Amino acid sequence: MEIEQVKCECCGLREDCMQDYITSIRANFNGMWLCGLCSEAVHDEMTTAKKKGQGVEAAVGAHMSFCHKIKVNPAMRVADEMRLMLRRRSGDLRRPSV
């Protein structure tokens, strides 16, 4: 079994994986390699994308956009997104952000 190093197309994380695993992940995401964390995030995005009649491309695009924003200012972006995620989970998006 051959091990290959691959780079996540969203966050840039590098992982050593077997070729069969790489092939299966790429099959799920239209030929793109996503790390485990990004693939889970894209699965969450797919829930929203399906409601809007969109597919995998839209979900991957939304997550890639998020990853690129984080690279600009990681600490602030993660804090902002975590706050928004918690508000979404609680069902309260009416409160103004602080």
Span 62-71, pLDDT tens digits:
888 888 877 7
**Structure-token match 């092939």, residue found:** 23
Q: pLDDT at position 67, please? A: 83
Six-digit token pair at 68?
């690129």
Q: Would you place residue 4 in the very low, low, confident or very high pLDDT band (cuts 50, 70, 90)?
A: very high
Q: How many beta carbons lie within 10 A of that of residue 49, not counting itself?
A: 19
Q: pLDDT at position 87, please? A: 81
Distance CA 57, CA 30 (A): 8
Domain ranges of the chain: 3-90
